[in-house]
Amino acid sequence: MADRYQSFTRTAPGRFLTRRLGLPQPAPLRRWSAEQPLLDGPVLHLTAGKPAPGLAPVLARTGLDVRTGDAERPAAVLVDATGVRTVEALAGVHGALHPVVRSIADSGRVVVLGAPLDPSDHHQSAVQQGLEGFVRSLGKEIGRGRTVNLVRLTDAAAAESTLRFLLSPRSAFVDGQVIEVDAAEVTAPEDWDRPLAGRTALVTGAARGIGAAVAETLARDGAHVVVLDVPRAEDEARALAGRLGGTALGLDVTAADAADRIASALPDGRLDVLVHNAGITRDRRLVNMPAERWSSVLDVNLASVLHTTDALLAQGLIPRGGRITATASIAGIAGNSGQTNYAASKAGVVGLVRALAPRALAEHGVTVNAVAPGFIETRMTAAVPLMIREAGRRMNSLAQGGLPVDVAETHAWFASPASGGVNGQVVRVCGQSMLGA
Q: Does 205 bind ligand NAD (CB under 6 A)?
A: yes
Q: Does 431 bind ligand NAD (CB under 6 A)?
A: no
Q: Does 233 bind ligand NAD (CB under 6 A)?
A: yes
Q: Which of 308, 341, 378, 396 binds ligand NAD (CB under 6 A)?
A: 378
Q: Does 218 bind ligand NAD (CB under 6 A)?
A: no
Structure letter (DSSP) for residue 374? -
Q: Does 327 bind ligand NAD (CB under 6 A)?
A: yes
- CB closer to ligand NAD out of 181 and 202: 202
Least distance in angstroms from the C-beta of 6 to ligand NAD: 16
Q: Does 204 bind ligand NAD (CB under 6 A)?
A: yes
- CB closer to ligand NAD out of 197 and 334: 334
Q: Does 373 bind ligand NAD (CB under 6 A)?
A: yes
From CA 299, how far away is CA 305, in angstroms rounded? 9
* CA angle (352 as vertex; 346, 357 as ends), nearest 5: 135
- Which stretch of DSSP H or E encloses residue 390? helix 386-394
- CB closer to ligand NAD out of 164 and 394: 394
From CA 105, how far away is CA 29, in angstroms rounded? 12
Crossing angle for the helix pair 340-364 and 304-314, to the nearest 10 degrees: 10
**What are the beta bridge partners of residue 273?**
201, 323
Site string for ligand NAD, 258-287 (x = CB under 6 A): -------------------xxxx-------
Least distance in angstroms from the C-beta of 185 to ligand NAD: 31
CB 244 within 8 A of CB 225: yes
Residue type, 357: A
What 3-state class would DSSP assign to 383? Answer: coil
- CB closer to ligand NAD out of 84 and 349: 349
Q: Does 410 bind ligand NAD (CB under 6 A)?
A: no
Q: Which of 209, 348, 421, 424 binds ligand NAD (CB under 6 A)?
A: 209
From CA 344, how far away is CA 293, in angstroms rounded? 13
Q: What is the CA radius of gyration of the chain?
A: 21
CB 377 within 8 A of CB 173: no
Residues forming the site for ligand NAD (CB under 6 A): 204-205, 207-211, 229-230, 233, 252-254, 277-280, 300, 327, 329, 373, 375-376, 378-381
